[in-house]
Structure 1
Amino acid sequence: MNNKADLTSNEKIAHGMFLGVYSPALVEMCSYAGFDFIIFDNEHGAFSDRDLEEMIRTADAVDLLSLVRVSYDESSIQKALDRGAKGIHVPMVNSKLDALKVIQKAMYPPLGNRGVAYSHRAAKYGQLSGRQYLQQSNEDIFVAIHLETYEAFKNIDEILQVPGIDLIFIGLTDLSVDMGYPNNSNHPEVQAVVEQIYQKAKQANIAVGEVASNEETAQKAVDRGAKYVALVGVNYVMNALKKYVQNMAK
């Protein structure tokens, strides 16, 4: 996979990983293992601006599609894309206005108001420029927005009307906490909201993605229609280490 169309294809499920720690080696491993994409977590993760660029550079070197879950900083979208990320995940999109602001920040004019420069890495340090580069960038950037509150669910019909959104990503943990079930994302009320999100997104012809902690939760997401599944890398590694120690202690 090397473009955004592959991420929401009906032909196969795209699998990737959230990564919130600086580890170029783990990025390489994800590619060699066969993952389709990697999401550098700049919302919860521990990345400096330099770290983020180096991780994106590593992903490019091993032909792994690089995405960034941006922070709440106003410049976060701009910086991720200027550093060469192929797309963004934007947390806490709760309204149509929030979604419109995402598109405005991610797209160059006339579709948005992203600041233009040709000296950054995404433009190959000035080797790409002009109308053709701006248009191609607008076409190529992958935009995933996170619906992770009950407010977002109530506004989903308006949110889905915003052009330029490629994926609805369900933030199940935040959603369950927001709905009053912090330790029970499987609560029937939470699951009913999730199912309605799938139904409404399908009607709007927009793919849905989910997070997964292991193979079981990944398969559960796929079974209900997810076209895109992102494993939480640190949790998966931690659980594997614990399982090894527990098994060897028997």
Structure 2
Amino acid sequence: MAEPLPTNGLRKTVDSGGVALGVLDNTYSPTLVEFYGDLGVDFIWLDFEHGGPDPWDAATVENLLRAADGTGTELLVRLPDTDPTLVRKALDLGVKNVFLPRVETADEVREAVKSGRFRYDGEAGDRGLAAPRARRWGLGENYIEASDEETLVGTTIETKEAVENIEDILAVPDLGFVFIGPFDLSVSLGHPGEIEHPEVQDAVETVRSAAVEADVTVGGLGFGMDDVNEKAESGYQILHVGSTTGAVQNAVRGWLEEFDGERN
């Protein structure tokens, strides 16, 4: 019996003008993905560029997806490469939200976005048509239409070249979102780690304002909840509020600091 395919909660939030709040889980744990979902986060960011399992490891990725599916949250997966084959693989496994690392041109972005769609900009897309997990192994209803409607393929803006080409990148049809990466951007601009450097901040603002003007969803890192709230007010709709390791670090250090006895 055919079953309706699940909607993309992250896309629903941003399309309605809302703000999605998420956590970076740098332990890549299905248990924590499930727990974060129960806590009510809108998405869990899995960064396969800087760590984590091999994104080609289908069984591992599927277990992370099942943990998210069970609690009604979404995964936001950063791939380690812009290879369209990898985009298609992630989507076939059931990931609905992917974004690309270190792009520089609109052509790179267009190729990846097109690879995630069956129909693209009035023409044929490059998505492969099979019966994978995303299709519930052939049981999914209206798979082609639902996939094109629910999938978000976005890109990180984290290089000097991407900032210079931002207008062309934002004009790519069906681009899901841009996510501003200030740390890698600081490296590309010659100020590694200095995310408050005026040149880095100018680049961040260039991207933010251009995305808002072009009506393309913009995402970014939050550095404390005051910063998250300010960014939400300025047009960001996908916001990282913290990480697993950051939360554990704060909790454990707090416990140790409050101990009244002596420690060796």
TM-score w.r.t. length of structure 1: 0.89
Name segments (4+ residues, structure 1) moved above 4 Å: none
**CA distance in structure 1 between the aligned counterparts of 2:173 and 2:249, rounded to whole angstroms:** 39
The match for 1:66 is 75
| Residues 1:16 and 2:22 aligned together | yes
Cα gap change, 1:20/1:76 in structure 2, threshold over 3 Å: closer, same or farther? farther
Residues 163-219 of structure 1: CA distance to partner in whole angstroms, max 9, x if unpaired? 111211101111011111112101111111111211111111112110235434433
Sort the Cα spacing of 1:230 and 1:140 in 2 relative to 1 into closer, same or farther, 3 A.
same
What residue is the counterpart of 2:198 in the other structure? 188
Give me the whole-angstrom Cα distance separating, in 2, the residues matched to 1:242 and 1:28.
22
Residue type of the partner of 1:87?
N
> What are the Cα deviations for residues 142-179 of structure 1, in whole angstroms up to 9, with x where unaligned?
12211101110000111111111121110111101111
Distance 2:125 2:158 in 1: 24
Separation in 2, partners of 1:238, 1:111: 47
Is the Cα–Cα contact under 8 Å of residues 210 and 230 in structure 1 kept in the other structure?
Answer: yes
Residue among 13, 32, 48 paired with 1:26: 32
1:55 is aligned, of 51, 55, 64, to 64
| Aligned AA (1:191) | Q
| CA-to-aligned-CA distance 1:38-90 (integer Å, 9 cap, x gap) | 12222122224221110011100111112211121733212211111121111
Q: What is the distance in 2 between the residues matched to 1:204 and 1:95?
A: 17
**3-state SS of the aligned residue for 2:137?**
helix
Aligned equivalent of 1:115: 128
Contact 1:9 1:227 in 2 (8 A): no
> C-alpha separation between the residues in 1 aligned to 2:186 and 2:248?
23
Q: Distance in 1 between matches of 2:81 and 2:239?
A: 23
Judged with a 3 Å threshold, the aligned counterparts in structure 2 of structure 1 residues 136 and 8 are, in CA distance, closer, same or farther, namely closer
- Of 106, 111, 121, 1:96 maps to 106
Q: Distance in 1 between matches of 2:28 and 2:215?
A: 35
Instruction: Give the equivalent residue in structure 2 for 1:126.
Output: 138
Pick aligned residue for 2:14 from 7, 26, 39: 7
* 2: CA distance, partners of 1:8 / 1:244: 39
Larger radius of gyration: 2
* Aligned amino acid, residue 126 of structure 2: N
Question: What CA distance in whole angstroms lies between the structure 2 residues aligned with 1:99 and 1:228?
Answer: 19
The answer to whether residue 230 in structure 2 is matched with residue 230 in structure 1 is: no
Q: How many residues align?
A: 246
- CA RMSD between the two structures: 2.1
Unpaired runs of 5+ in structure 2? 1-7
User: Where do 5+ consecutive residues of structure 1 fail to align?
Assistant: none
- Contact 1:19–1:234 at 8 Å: present in 2 too? yes
The alignment's TM-score, normalised by the length of structure 2, stands at 0.85
| Residues 88 and 128, structure 2, Cα contact 8 Å, conserved in 1 | yes
CA distance in 2, matches of 1:15, 1:101: 28
